[in-house]
Amino acid sequence: MSSAVDLAAHPLTKWQGPFGLPDFTRIGDGDFGPVFDAALKAHEAEIDAIAGNSEASTIENTLAALELAGEALDQVSSIFWCRAGAHTNEDIQALERDISPKMSRHFSAISMNENLFARIDDLYQRRESLKLDAETLRVLEKTWKGFVRSGAKLDAGGKKRLARINEELSSLGTSFGQNVLADERDWALFLDAADLAGLPDFLKSAM
């Protein structure tokens, strides 16, 4: 169960391998599902805390907090998608089909969170008076635009429709990628000596 996952210690979210990378010897395919569930819940709780903050919005308690939220989800996601892209198998592909729409729903809910966007919008509308440095101003502007482009200003019906479209695109994209991989898995190009004419010996010997 995801409730039993210790995100502060799990090798998928606490990287303790060489050079600060994950210790892949301690990671199995069966670890991803429970850790994803726990990381999604943890990120949701962080977002709820930011959106529900009773204090006035500031860069620190809203924008910076949003940027720092979801570290565990970022960690497990980066490992999983590398695994799915470079060294997949049937179990990983099944999990990919499950996680893709789940992640889409998760991030749509964040982008369309009215209380969260209200805090970001408040900062954005006051950006000129906040005397922000160029980097912070750029992050604020990109964050605000990202929310708007992801449906934050749509009405309830529009948000539901966009969320459904995003989820469907996520599932279709995953299916397409897996279909292409299946189509190419057994493909091979056979060459005879005539096909190699003109190639240097070192290249021929490497084939």
| Helical pair 71-86 and 90-111, crossing angle rounded to 10 deg | 140
* Domains defined along the chain, listed by start: 2-205 (1.10.1370.40)
pLDDT digits (tens, 9 = 90+) for 145-195: 999 999 999 999 999 999 999 999 999 999 999 999 999 888 888 888 888
Q: Which of 3-12, 74-83, 111-120 is predicted least confidently?
A: 3-12
Residue type, 102: K
What own/partner pairs with CB < 8 Å and gap ≥ 24 does 176-179 have?
A: 178/93, 178/96, 178/97
Q: Whole-model pTM? A: 0.87
Model pLDDT, residue 2? 43
Q: How far does CA 141 lie from the centroid of its chain?
A: 21
Instruction: Say what the pLDDT of residue 99 is.
Output: 97
